Amino acid sequence: MPETGYLIAVLATVFAITFALRALPFAVLGRLRQSRFVLTLAAWMPAGILAILAATTFSSSIDDAGRVLPAVLALAVTVGVHLGAGRRTLLSVGLGTLTYIALLAVL
């Protein structure tokens, strides 16, 4: 069993590295907030995340024919809510996911 001092040193090192890695993006982002790159990321990242989620859902749906209709209907709900509710990503993804799960349970 390692000595107590060694364990404390390891834990302090792990804490310092974890804290630095978590705090670094916020420290850098303050300076870059008005940069073109960060503004572009802020505009395109939600759409990219939605595209990845949709691609993942449809790739798993293609293997099972019973999942295609629920996936298409859930996509329609997601897009409709996203456009109709003022582009609120969390709401649209949440309702689309609930629709998909409910349709899988019913169909």
Residue 107 banded pLDDT, cuts 50, 70, 90: confident
| Contacts (Cβ under 8 Å, ≥6 apart) of 29 | 38
Helix (H) / strand (E) element for 66: namely none
HSE of 82, CA atoms in CB hemisphere, 13 A: 16
pLDDT exceeds 90 at position 89: no
**Per-chain mean pLDDT for the chain:** 88
Residue 88 banded pLDDT, cuts 50, 70, 90: confident
Q: Is the model's pTM score more than 0.85? A: no
Question: Tokens 């834990």 belong to which residue?
Answer: 11
* Residue percentage of the chain with pLDDT more than 70: 100
* Residue percentage of the chain with pLDDT more than 90: 42
